[in-house]
Structure formats: structure tokens, C-alpha cells
Amino acid sequence: MPNISKKSFHILNPRLDPNFKAIFTQNTQASKIALKSFLSAAIGRDVKEVTVVQNEDARFYKFQRAIDYDINCEFSDGTKAQVEMQGFDQQYDYGKRAEYYAARLVSSVMEVGDDWNSVAQAYQISVLDFVFDRGNTNPIHHYQMADLGDGARLSGRLNVIFMELPKLPKVVSSDDVKNLPSLLKWCKFLKEADNPGSQDLIRAIVESEDGIMKASDTLKNISDDGWRWVIQGQIEGKKRDYTSGLLAAERRGRAQGLEQGMLQKAIETAKKLLNDGMPPEKVANYCSIPLEEVKVLQKTP
């Protein structure tokens, strides 16, 4: 098998939400199989049939909050699932956000007079290309409402699932791939599919799971669409601008902190010199503090 050069390699980044969504929502058999396979791996049970449905209706008034999921779907048994890809950390409180989304997913299908037994199972599934829980090395988290003391769960209707891609275990051989749970294979595929240096690994993963193979085929097909590369470039540019802005703000904060610390030290020195009897004019010159401020310090107990 010839090596794939970076120059000839041409696969879209599946961790950007438009590309991620496109993998699972094409009107093709391959895309439908991929979605069922991914959802089955994520929730831990076999998904027989799933339908992608439209997002919430348009807002009725200007400031009403609306939800726009990457993938909003419903299983044949009434289960609701919402799937989204977060390609970079936008400094949201993702825990609160996920709980809110899961609650909205359930409440959006409840009608006045419905019996509580009709409440559908709901899954809010997020693939995160950044670390959410820094105190835990586990890349997969499945949250439900539970008692803080003994862990007893309520109905289990509300489910929040996080997949943190940076925490994935290292995989170096085909034997490692064989031993991976299905969901970790999916995560590895999403993390490395566009990496030219990981194609031997991706090939082994793709050959081990039919659903991932269908996802890979779909990703390759949409990678032939030039306009998707334009969109990807715009998103990556926005990400770079956002990251640069955060770094600039951090640098300004450090500089301001340093400046404030130096000023405080100069004020303390000026007070000591004044107490020792040094004339205000000399203190101002020595500490690089305006004479007016030194005179104020001189009057301050």
C-alpha cells in the first residue's frame, strides 16, 4: 500500500460541525447506516430505525431562545436524540448547556394532558474536540439524574453523553483496534480521519466496523465538494481569530497584573521613604510616581 502524501491527501475535517452533520444526514443508505451505527455505539443498545427530523420551529418573537441541533433525530420506539460536534472550546458552560438541551428535547414533544408514561427517552450526545472534565481521564461520560448519596437513579429518561476526543487512548496496532469498544472506534475515526499520518490506523478501524466504513465512504464523497472546503476554511479562520483573541486578552491581563503589582510596590516604597523623612520631590523622582500622588500619600496615615 503506497504512503499517502499530505499534498495528495484530501479529506475534510469531520470535527467541524458542518462536515460532521453531513456524514450522518445525507439521503443515502451509507449515511443512514452510519447514523444508526454511531447512535447504537453511543447509547449502548441497538438502534433499528432512526429518522432525522427538523430542528425546533422558528422563534415567535425576537428574543425567544431557539435550539438548533447539528443532528436531531427520533428512533422507531419514540426515543429522542440530539447529536452535536463541538470542534473547539468556545468557553461555554457545557455541563449546564447539555442539561438544558436534554430537558428541551423531552419537553418539546410533551403535550398538555399527556400521561407521564409517554415521556420519551432523551439523549443529548456531544462529541468534544477539547477536554471538558480535567479531573477525569475517562474520555466517555454518560450522565443521568441520580441520588448524590447512594447513586440511585430516577427514571433514566434524561441522558447526557460526552465524548472527549483528546482523552482517547493511544492505539498503535490492529490488535489494539480489535480490542476497542465500538464507541472508541468511532471517536478514533472522528479524531484521525483527516490526518494523513494516521491512515493505517483509520483503515484498520474502518475495516472492523461496517457503520464506520459507511461513514468513511460518505466523508470521502463530500470531500469532493469544493464549496465544503470553502466553508471549512472560513470556520478554521474564525477559530484562529477566536483563539488569537483569547491569547491577546490573556497577555493583556498578565501585563496589567504586572503593571499593577509594580505600582503597588512603588507606592509601598514611597510610603517608607516618606516615613524616613525623604522630601516628596525626591520620593517622586526615585519611585517614578507623580509628585501630586506622593503628596497625597504623605497625608495618608
Calculate mean pLDDT across residues 140-158: 86
How is residue 124 annotated by DSSP? E
2 has a pLDDT exceeding 50: no
- With cut-offs at 50, 70 and 90, classify the pLDDT of residue 285: confident
- Under 8 Å CB-to-CB from 131, ≥6 apart: which residues? 164, 166, 167
- Quote the longest CA-to-CA distance of the chain: 88
pLDDT of residue 19: 92
**Chain segment 208-234, per-residue pLDDT in tens:** 999 999 999 999 999 999 889 988 888
- With cut-offs at 50, 70 and 90, classify the pLDDT of residue 139: very high
pLDDT of residue 100: 85
**Chain segment 53-98, per-residue pLDDT in tens:** 765 443 433 433 444 557 888 888 888 889 999 877 766 778 888 8
116 has a pLDDT exceeding 90: no
Judged by average pLDDT, the poorest of 90-104, 138-152, 155-169, 181-195 is: 90-104
**Chain segment 33-48, per-residue pLDDT in tens:** 999 999 999 999 888 8
3-state secondary structure (DSSP) of residue 225: coil
109 has a pLDDT exceeding 70: no
pLDDT of residue 39: 94
Calculate mean pLDDT across residues 19-24: 92
| CB-based contact 83:135 (threshold 8 Å) | no
pLDDT of residue 12: 94
- Under 8 Å CB-to-CB from 49, ≥6 apart: which residues? 36, 75, 76
Listed residue (118, 89, 122) closest to 103, CA to CA: 122
What is the reported pTM?
A: 0.70
pLDDT of residue 187: 95
- With cut-offs at 50, 70 and 90, classify the pLDDT of residue 14: very high
Place of cell 483509520: 202
d(CA 297, CA 275): 10
Mean pLDDT of all residues belonging to the chain:
80
d(CA 25, CA 71): 8
Share of the chain above pLDDT 90, in %: 30
How is residue 161 annotated by DSSP? E
- With cut-offs at 50, 70 and 90, classify the pLDDT of residue 167: very high
